[in-house]
Structure 1
Amino acid sequence: MTLQRAALWAVVIAATIFLLVAGRGLLLPFVLGIVLWYMVDSLADTLAQPRLGRLRLPQPLALLLAVVAIGGLFWIVGRTIGRNVQAVVAAVPTYEARLTHLIEQGTRMAGIEQAPTLSELVARISLADTLGSVATAAASVVSVAGLILIYTLFLFVEQVHFRSKLAAIFHGDGQEARVRAVLARIDREIRLYIRIKTTLATVTSALAYVVMSSVGVDFAGFWAVMVFFFYYIPTVGSILAIVAPALLTLIQFDNLTPFLIVLLVFGSIQVITANVIEPAIMGRSLNLSPLVVIVSLIVWGTIWGVVGMFLCVPIMVVALIVLAQFEATRPVAVLLSADGRIPESTP
């Protein structure tokens, strides 16, 4: 690669990052609309597949059922979070008093004569401020919900004519089959990722609810929902899913037994699921470097916040597949891969 080409690539990357950051308010609703459209369309395609070798739902009926299912899921999750957030905010003073007591005990055990006040320790990580930030983020999503739904609706309208547009764009040059093959591979990889992640997240959150409710942890249903969403965030999400309920248990109870049960039992479930079961099921399909996943998590989290954390892996999967199709960018695809093996370019 010549110096001029390297400089050009650097300018293109810098300009792209600038546009992603500066246009966050405009891009995020559209990106979330794409995500919602993809979820509904994937579920509709799954429902429309033949069952028992003969029965097949008509596509419009499958689409309607998918819309109802996704809408019902969001309603249940939103209702659960909404109810429990208010209860958590109401319980913050009790937790802060308990946390102050734990700090005093810890400082005495450490031999520190004067314990720092709670305000000194949590000035930067106040529970109330943290919950307020979460509520603000949720409110921002709700505020653009109408725009997201509009984007989703028009994406379904555009989907009807997409194939004909693709054929018109590549008419006569033999590239249509290649583009279709690349899009099919991207669709297959993303659907596999979502299916595996959703299944394991559901199982993990259900087990988390069983463990927490069995020891009497407050707001077990709320934390189970949080565990479900944490599972979609690579690496960091698994840590948060273990630490957050465990810390709440430590603050809530006067003895360490419930804390140790939640930490060890659920921690073991989370570690085994995320580090043993998921890689075994996922296999080599995604083949992304763990370092690339961590870096993309940080980069996209910085650019788009929590939404970027959720989407970092699908974005890198798309980037890997697309970069592997061109001779000039295949070295970049190799660097993104886990073992140097990348998808073969489609002729």
Structure 2
Amino acid sequence: MRSPLLTATLSVLLVCMIGWLLVVGRSLILPFVIALIVWYMINSLAHVFAHIPLGRWRLPRLVSFSLALLTIFFASTVVLDIVTVNLTQLALDAPTYQRRLEELFTQASTQLHLNDPIELKDLLPDSIVPRMVTAGASLVTTLAGSASLVFIYVLFLVLEQSTFDRKFERLFPSPERAEAAFAMRAEINRSIMHYFSIKTAVSVATGVLTSLVLIAIGLPYAALFGFIAFLLNYIPTIGSLIGVIFPSLLAVVYYDTLGPFIAIATGLGLIQFTIGNLVEPRLMGSNLNLSGLVIMLSLAFWGAIWGVVGMVLCVPLTVMIVIVCARFEGSRPIAILLSQTGEVGGLSGKTGTTG
């Protein structure tokens, strides 16, 4: 009989090897992961279109799937164009904003009567504003460059998805095990669909409200900051904070008074607080059953491996781990530790609390 120490050692080595492979194969794995997300969104949206009431009729699957595909393609194209235009203009204006920021540091040092004036380079690296904008533009360029590879992956996933169930069933030696595996997959799908549908809805609301507030106050790049708020809202805890900081800092250097800065910081803070602490928890409920500490640790872990994409995916990936681990006796303690309440449902073949 294998000793517990040997089992634990082998488990740690397996986790380390998987982590190393995820880091080394990042350039290959990430486009495929993004393609899986897009493919999942297409199917989810097609499911929504197929259930739209049209009297006695419902849209055929082919029509609803085509509408979902066109909707996501059109939305992605429009958003990418808006972000690219705004980033290009921001890159041109970045040196001006940096000079304005340096002037503010000089004024503050003068008003405080400091013998050694505070300079921007003392706190931040040289040319920090242009470099941040360049980094953002580089990220968009990288995403656009990998779009063709993502499109190819999505195309093959769409073409082969009709055979997935048949292949999946034949992986198992008995119908009972296949049934348990299908039940586990259905539970994972329910949890992830629940998470992404609500998270996407509240993220869209956050992005739209952010853009409207910035347009009303007159801050430029409102559409860009709205998209940033939408994207960052997927990142637990710190995403909403960063979504408020970026436009607030621009308001400091763009306006001559602190009034717009206070209005933007207050308005965006209220939006993030209301949606993040009142609306989203009520809609999300306790369906995810994840510990807050586990969410923060998974945020750091996946962020270190896959950057921003890992931060966005940290919650659904952890949900999948909890659900799968809860279905096997050997890995069930892991699911209990990762959960919030310790209730993770039954073993394989049984149903229980959603992870």
Say whether the fold is shared (TM-score over 0.5): yes
CA distance in 2, matches of 1:121, 1:64: 52
User: For 1:266-307, what per-residue CA distance to the aligned partner results, in whole angstroms no more than 9, with x for missing partners?
Assistant: 101101211222111101101111111111111111101111
Distance across 1 between alignment mates of 2:126 and 2:300 = 21
Q: Distance between the aligned counterparts of 2:266 and 2:8, measured in 1?
A: 50
Deviation digits for residues 179-228 of structure 1 (CA, Å, limit 9, x no counterpart): 11111111111111111111111111221122111111111121111111
In structure 1, the residue matched to 2:53 is 51
Q: CA deviation at 1:327?
A: 1.0
Are 2:327 and 1:325 equivalent residues in the alignment?
yes
Q: 5+ residue gaps in structure 2?
A: 350-355
Identify the residue that residue 136 of structure 1 maps to in structure 2.
138
1:125 shift after superposition: 7.1
Range 202-211 or range 337-346, more displaced:
337-346
Deviation readout 1:15-59 (Å, 9 max, x if unpaired):
010111111111111111111111111111111125267321111
Once residues 130 and 139 of structure 2 are traced to their aligned partners in structure 1, the CA distance between those partners, rounded to angstroms, is: 14
Normalising by the residue count of structure 2, what TM-score does the alignment of the two structures yield? Answer: 0.93
Q: TM-score normalized by structure 1?
A: 0.96
Candidates 9, 17, 24, aligned match of 2:19: 17
Which residue is 2:90 aligned to?
A: 88
Q: What root-mean-square deviation, in Å, do the aligned CA atoms of Structure 1 and Structure 2 show?
A: 1.6
May I ask how many residue pairs the two structures share in their alignment? Answer: 347
The within-5 A match list for 1:245-264 is 245-264=247-266
CA distance in 1, matches of 2:26, 2:276: 31
Instruction: Give the Cα separation in 2 of the matches to 1:100 and 1:221.
Output: 26
CA distance in 1, matches of 2:150, 2:324: 26
Q: Percent identity?
A: 35
Aligned to 1:121: 123
Matched, 1:342 2:353: no
Cα distance, 1:71 vs structure 2:
0.5
Whether the 8 Å contact between 2:233 and 2:240 is mirrored in structure 1 is yes
Give the secondary-structure state (helix, strand or coil) at the position aligned to 1:269: helix
Pick one of 308, 311, 319 that aligns with 2:310.
308
**In 2, distance between residues paired with 1:107 and 1:238?**
31
Instruction: After superposition, give the CA deviation of every residue in 1:81-122 in whole Å (9 maximum; x if it has no partner).
Output: 011111111111221121112112322344422223334433
Aligned residue for 2:63?
61
Relative to structure 1, the CA distance from residue 13 to residue 242 in structure 2 (aligned partners, 3 Å threshold; closer, same or farther) is same
- Greater Cα offset, 102-111 or 184-193: 102-111
Q: Which residue of 1 aligns with 2:270?
A: 268
Equivalent in the alignment of 2:183: 181
Q: Aligned with 2:170: secondary structure? A: helix
Question: In structure 2, the residue corresponding to 1:203 is in which secondary structure?
Answer: helix
How far, CA to CA, are the matches of 1:209 and 1:166 in structure 2?
44
- Contact in 1 for aligned 2:97/2:129 (Cα 8 Å): no
Displacement of 1:129: 1.0
